[in-house]
Amino acid sequence: MSGEEKRLTMIDLARVSKTFPPDVHALADVSLRIRRGEMIFLTGQSGAGKTTLLRMLCGIDRPDKGYIEIAGSDLSRISDNELQKLRRRIGVAYQDFKLLPDKTVAQNIAYSMEVSYRSRQFIISRTKQLLTELGLMDKLDALAGKLSRGEQQRVSIARAVANEPELILADEPTGNLDAETAGLVMQLFRRCNEEGVTLLIATHDQAIYDYPGSKIVRIENGRLAIQKPPVIAKQGEGRA
């Protein structure tokens, strides 16, 4: 791929496979390229491999085979320090939230900004802004463990967005939300996208991606199935 194209690429996957013992092919030969500034929906049945893919994109798991490049960094060759640096530029909303139950909502959100040495004022104002947008301002000082599932989900989304990342990976971000609250989340995501942030949203909530012009990647049994529009993904192409 040319230098120009490399600069424009946020996520580049080439023939990525991941097998779990004994014999679960969570991902098989997945090749995918996502440009900067895109908002892509990753769909597929439960167990299709969406979470597995996202976990590999943020360096929690490593692929058995294949090549992953995020913002120009080859994840298989990146040093530990560089991986941590890269993670500060990626916001992840995990399917299982990964909140600390004995910390307050504000503290939970602050973590993603503190590790980038953001100032106190920035952390406070950003936290309040996001909680207002997500309709959670009254829970600022509540313990995360005491919140409802849907509230916890929004806190984890706020934490993912808070540090103004270049890339947001959201795993089932509306899974526990009613349509109206899901709308708030999507509004936030769309605004981020307008500011130039790349988003990859794993979901089976058809309501959030079923609109004209949405870009969808579907995986079935660990394989890339359909893409809409098809140009954004490339199947079977080796490493450039």
Ligand X SMILES: Nc1ncnc2c1ncn2[C@@H]1O[C@H](COP(=O)(O)OP(=O)(O)OP(=O)(O)O)[C@@H](O)[C@H]1O
Instruction: State the residues that interact with ligand X by CB under 6 A.
Output: 20, 24, 26, 44, 46-52, 95
Q: Is 111 in the site for another protein (CB under 8 A)?
A: yes
CB 58 within 8 A of CB 169: yes
Among Mg ion, ligand X, another protein, none, partner that 159 touches (CB below 5 to 8 angstroms by kind): another protein
Q: E strands along the chain, which residues?
A: 9-20, 24-35, 39-43, 65-70, 73-74, 90-93, 167-171, 198-202, 215-220, 223-228
Q: Per rule CB under 8 A, is residue 79 in the interface with another protein? A: no
Angle at 81 between CA 86 and CA 99, to 5 degrees: 60
201 binds, among ligand X, another protein, Mg ion, none (CB under 5 to 8 A by kind): none
Q: Does 119 sit near another protein (CB under 8 A)?
A: yes
What single DSSP character describes residue 77? T
> 24 or 142, CB closer to ligand X?
24
Of residues 40-59, which lie at the interface with another protein (CB under 8 A)? 58
Q: Pick the closer one to Mg ion by CB: 51 or 108.
A: 51
Rule CB under 8 A: say whether 98 interacts with another protein.
Answer: yes
| Site membership for Mg ion, residue 51 (CB under 5 A) | yes
* Contact call for residues 33 and 239 (beta carbons, < 8 A): no
Element (H, E) at 185: helix 179-194
Residue 24: name its binding partner from another protein, Mg ion, ligand X, none (Cβ under 5 to 8 Å by kind). ligand X
- Minimum Å gap between C-beta 203 and another protein is 21
Does the footprint of another protein cover residue 116 (CB under 8 A)?
yes
CA distance 58 to 54: 7
Of residues 106 and 217, the one with the C-beta less far from Mg ion:
217
CB of 191 to another protein, least distance (A): 22
Which of 182, 162, 184, 163 lies closest to 173 in space, CA to CA? 182
Cα–Cα distance measured from residue 55 to residue 50, given in angstroms and rounded to the nearest whole number: 9
> Judged by CB under 8 A, does residue 145 bind another protein?
no
Q: Which does 115 bind (CB under 5 to 8 A by kind): another protein, ligand X, Mg ion, none?
A: another protein
Closest CB 155 distance from ligand X, rounded Å: 19
Return the CA Rg of the chain. Answer: 18
CB of residue 107 to another protein, shortest distance in Å: 9
Contact 147, 139 (CB under 8 A): yes
Closer residue to ligand X (CB): 9 or 174:
174
Q: Rounded to whole angstroms, what are the CA distances from 157 to 19, 94, 168, 184? A: 29, 8, 9, 11
86 counts as binding another protein under rule CB under 8 A: yes
